[in-house]
Amino acid sequence: MDREKMGRRWSELAEEAFTGMAEWREQHPKATFREIETAVDERLAAVRARMLEDAALASAATELGDSECPECGHKLGNGGKQQRTLLTNHNKQVTLQRRYGICSACGEGLFPPR
């Protein structure tokens, strides 16, 4: 994904978070600081997760290139694309699809390749 497209997507998500927070605040005028903080974190966590996913997928680490096996140092072969779902610090899922590297010498697999 190109930089401009990522920026637009992030801006749209951020705007949704800001609007959602303003609406939440109107509905909860007597909320405590802790409740406000939780509401802010919930909304920003979605933006954060999208930014993490997009930035990770835009990384050069998504391709094997000349990656070497961390166990024996031989070049990794292409094991095809595989998907991995991770959880952020705020329990949001991020799904990454990257090439899986397999060492022809020792059979070690690596996702994502280094």
Neighbouring residues of 111: CB distance < 8 A, sequence distance ≥ 6: 82, 84, 98, 100, 101
pTM flag (> 0.75):
no
Residue 62 has pLDDT above 70, yes or no: no
pLDDT in the model for residue 114: 44
Average pLDDT, the chain: 85
pLDDT band at 16 (very low <50, low <70, confident <90, very high): very high
Radius of gyration of the chain (CA): 20
Write down the domain spans for the chain: 1-58, 61-114
